[in-house]
Structure 1
Amino acid sequence: MTNVNASAARRRESILRAAVRQGLLAPDRAVLAAFVDLDGVAASVRALHTAFPDTVNVLHAFAAKANCLVPVLKELRALGMGCEAAGAGELAQALAAGFAPDRIVFDSPAKTRPELARALELGVAVNADSFQELERIDEILARSPSSSRIGVRLNPQVGGGDIEAMSTATATSKFGIALDDDGNRRRLLDAFRARPWLTWVHAHVGSQGCPLELIAEGVARAVAFADEVDRTLGRRQVTGIDIGGGLPVNFQGDDTVPGFDSYVRRLQDRVPRLFGGDYRIVTEFGRSLLAKNGFTAALVEYTKTSGGRPVAITHAGAQVAARTVFMPSAWPLRITAHGPDGSRKAGEPVPQDVAGPCCFAGDLLARARPLPLLAPGDIVCLLDTGAYYSSTPFHYNSLPDPAVHGVRVGPRGDVAFEPLRPAETLEDVLARTGG
């Protein structure tokens, strides 16, 4: 274990021990909780801002889908971020968090007419996902002009990464207008010619499993098309490029690789035109800012042996780790074992299953994972879950959503918690299920 890893592990253990002492994780009343390291979030945002040169005009818009909790979005706004919303709910959350409309980007392949009208009325940036959506925007603007910056999402069709579900620039992707499909390039040029208000180009290649080379190629094609628009029309029309997000996250250890600096260097090598000052830039990072700054902790309720293999039944399963449960090879999580006080558990690693509480056989966080032998009352921690996991729960078996706590650690090691989302009560569960 490197010093960086050791330091991160000690910090998590310190947070977990403090959570146990303060009753945020306790048998029979708080058996599952998630934690977001707000100091770590601030450091990640600084790294993102620092990676881009001062010579470019860039808005870093956090992808709200990665963690849509309004207090988290407020924190990111205070750190200088904008916000990317992929639906009406996320747009409402971004506004509730206090983002100015001109610092919000509205992306969705299925925007309704009322949703588009609302965004354009507010002055929120909009990326149209199809020719049909452009026609809807025509209708709305004919009735009411807008200050929104409006772009079109291209599918640069550069191919997919290792995880098909996370690859959005394949030949047949549902996202954007396929640039190389027969006739589309001409139709796009005509669309820009007919709409002087169409001034942005957007492309997003994918996220986890997509190498930097593939992402950079997608951005290069978007920039080349923006140049083609201006050249063909004989006027300066495209003023900005939304290059999306999608930096892969290292789920194998605590090191943050690749970093934002590596990403920017790859872009500078492949598409230096992006940094020439002619285009404003928007980014839409999410997972890469939040994932490594959070973990989920669950109590072990029971243990047993099945087929000769130990099984630990915990309170964390598909309801907070749907991707890992349903796609374990694509989304494996590191898991650490702790005693009831939160201290890292010692002992010879024993292959054992770590199971969740959901009522189906596949609700497993890990199969035959070597860990110190778990016992009732122990705690397991799911690492790198600051994005997507507890903030977007899966309501299987009507399990209550766990509390999410923000964490700050003072210079003397004192741990302070602040509520980001309260734990659901059974009354809350009944309310959202019509009871």
Structure 2
Amino acid sequence: MKNLEAPQRRELILESAVRQGLLHPEEALVAGFIDLDGVEENVKALHAAFISNPGTLHAFAAKANCLVPVLSVLKDLGMGCEVASEGELAQAVAAGFPPDRIVFDSPAKTRGELRQALSLGVAINADNFQELERIDQFLGQSPSLSTIGIRINPQVGLGGIEAMSTAGATSKFGIALTDPSSRARLFEAYRKYPWLSRVHAHVGSQGCPLALIADGIARVVDFADEVNDRLGRQQIRAIDIGGGLPVDFESDTMESGFDPYVRELRKGTPSLFNGKYDIITEFGRTILAKFGFIAAHVEYTKTTGGRRIAITHAGAQVATRTVFMPESWPIRVDAHDPLGRRKPGEPVAQDIAGPCCFAGDLIARNRLLPPLEQGDIITLLDTGAYYFSTPFSYNSLLEPGVYGANIDADGSVEFTTLRRPQSIPELLERTGLNELPSLAIRQAI
């Protein structure tokens, strides 16, 4: 039933989850859901936007949702995977991505991580000159199938969320392109290391306008052209343009904006699409955010100081960015009755609080919603990326279950477990229960 609007799809998924016990007022207080049909359509739209460059590698940024079954779904939809740690690399390999479709980015790659990536044949984007020297040493010891690039910072400026912007004058990422002597050192690196065949930049993030992103990528392409022209050969053969396309968190518009993004790139840098360079993208939030939501039960309601407050089971442990940076990362909240149906009623201002034991654990303040009551359900919308997939272990709250949903033509919903709910025994094991015997022995000695 792909013709259903987003709110209808969410309500259908939520009602089915309640009926099937995936959300329960005593046994499953909070859960995450991903509309897998919507994700599939979104990935198709991404491929269609770059259809003039059919060899483009769209590497999903694993940091946005590192659940192995989710990565496996994206692999089956034709995506690659961008990773930024040993753990994410292991998750990508476990999900079945071939090494030549994995891109390893990180500003702090260890010697062990580099050796592993080179031995697997994973593509690497080096972050700095010291890392290039390290890679050169390893390649001198053992050949590798890895393609190597270097991340540059085009220094085009900040977006609306400074903490998320990566192309400011003093960004921690990459090598600054316009600092004194920096461009000359970069050129010398390409001359010195003939295995250096890519250039990488990640300009955008939430809050960055398309014009800023396009300007940064244009400077990267100009740099690649200059390197190739000065060397007299096509040494740089691929340009990794990163991700960071902003997401609409204010409405139910599901289009991810790939077509306007490509039009902006074509306007500023048409040569990027003439076949001279292979293209790599690294979208994460843009792929999944709009197609996921968190559902949680309302445990209690109260009025304090004249303000209505709903105490729910979704707070900082699943919506960390929103709780600690509410101005930068506000999210929409919907109200539902205990069966998952959209709750009617005249909206009133109320706070939506989480279960964490600190006063600032608020998902929303003075939000206009139908009056919430004990036993109702709230949904946190557009949370398919960076929310339930990477929970914050405050108060040792259990990690919620995560489920993928497919809606059949007859309206029935089939769920796939993407992460089972964490159990108390699993929590105790993770927090050192198995170390107690050895600890007791050490204390007795």
Looking at structure 1, the residues matched to 359 and 374 of structure 2 have their Cα atoms a distance apart, in angstroms, of: 20
Question: Which deviations, in whole Å up to 9, do the C-alpha atoms of 1:171-196 show, x marking residues without a partner?
Answer: 00000000111111110000000000
* 2:371 paired residue number: 373
Q: 1:68 to 1:326 in 2, by over 3 A?
A: same
Three-state SS of the structure 2 residue aligned to 1:302 is strand
Looking at structure 2, the residues matched to 398 and 268 of structure 1 have their Cα atoms a distance apart, in angstroms, of: 49
Task: State how 1:98-177 maps to structure 2 within 5 Å.
Answer: 98-177=96-175
1:84 aligns to 2:82 (yes or no): yes
Looking at structure 1, the residues matched to 391 and 130 of structure 2 have their Cα atoms a distance apart, in angstroms, of: 33
1:57 aligns to 2:55 (yes or no): yes
What count of residue pairs does the alignment treat as equivalent?
A: 432
| 1:166 to partner: Cα distance | 1.3
Q: Which amino acid aligns with 1:189?
A: F
TM-score, structure 2 length as denominator? 0.96
* 1:412 paired residue number: 410
Three-state SS of the structure 1 residue aligned to 2:308 is strand
| 1:231 to partner: Cα distance | 1.2
User: Unaligned regions of 5+ residues in structure 2, if any?
Assistant: 434-445
| 1:53 to partner: Cα distance | 2.8
Looking at structure 1, the residues matched to 326 and 228 of structure 2 have their Cα atoms a distance apart, in angstroms, of: 46
2:58 and 2:281 in contact (8 A); partners too: yes
* 2:94 paired residue number: 96
* 1:215 paired residue number: 213
Looking at structure 2, the residues matched to 419 and 49 of structure 1 have their Cα atoms a distance apart, in angstroms, of: 27
* 1:37 paired residue number: 35
Looking at structure 2, the residues matched to 98 and 265 of structure 1 have their Cα atoms a distance apart, in angstroms, of: 33
Looking at structure 2, the residues matched to 390 and 328 of structure 1 have their Cα atoms a distance apart, in angstroms, of: 17
1:56 and 1:281 in contact (8 A); partners too: no
| 1:349 to partner: Cα distance | 0.4
| 1:133 to partner: Cα distance | 0.4
| 1:232 to partner: Cα distance | 1.4
Q: 1:5 to 1:413 in 2, by over 3 A?
A: closer
Task: State how 1:178-257 maps to structure 2 within 5 Å.
Answer: 178-256=176-254
Q: Which amino acid aligns with 2:279?
A: I
Q: Which amino acid aligns with 2:243?
A: G
1:315 and 1:356 in contact (8 A); partners too: yes
1:57 and 1:277 in contact (8 A); partners too: no
1:249 and 1:257 in contact (8 A); partners too: no
Three-state SS of the structure 1 residue aligned to 2:5 is helix
Looking at structure 2, the residues matched to 234 and 51 of structure 1 have their Cα atoms a distance apart, in angstroms, of: 32
1:386 aligns to 2:384 (yes or no): yes
The equivalent position to 1:10 in structure 2, one of 8, 11, 14, is: 8
1:362 aligns to 2:360 (yes or no): yes
Quick one: percent identity of the two aligned structures? 66
* 2:439 paired residue number: none
2:52 and 2:273 in contact (8 A); partners too: no
Looking at structure 1, the residues matched to 107 and 53 of structure 2 have their Cα atoms a distance apart, in angstroms, of: 32
Looking at structure 1, the residues matched to 352 and 95 of structure 2 have their Cα atoms a distance apart, in angstroms, of: 36
2:256 and 2:286 in contact (8 A); partners too: no
Question: Which deviations, in whole Å up to 9, do the C-alpha atoms of 1:362-409 show, x marking residues without a partner?
Answer: 000000001011011000000000111000111111111000001000
Looking at structure 1, the residues matched to 430 and 219 of structure 2 have their Cα atoms a distance apart, in angstroms, of: 45
TM-score, structure 1 length as denominator? 0.98
2:6 and 2:254 in contact (8 A); partners too: no
| 1:28 to partner: Cα distance | 1.0
| 1:234 to partner: Cα distance | 1.7
Looking at structure 1, the residues matched to 366 and 318 of structure 2 have their Cα atoms a distance apart, in angstroms, of: 20
| 1:54 to partner: Cα distance | 3.0
Runs of 4+ in 1 over 4 A off after TM superposition: none
Question: Which deviations, in whole Å up to 9, do the C-alpha atoms of 1:266-307 show, x marking residues without a partner?
Answer: 101110010010100000000001000110000000011111
1:304 aligns to 2:283 (yes or no): no
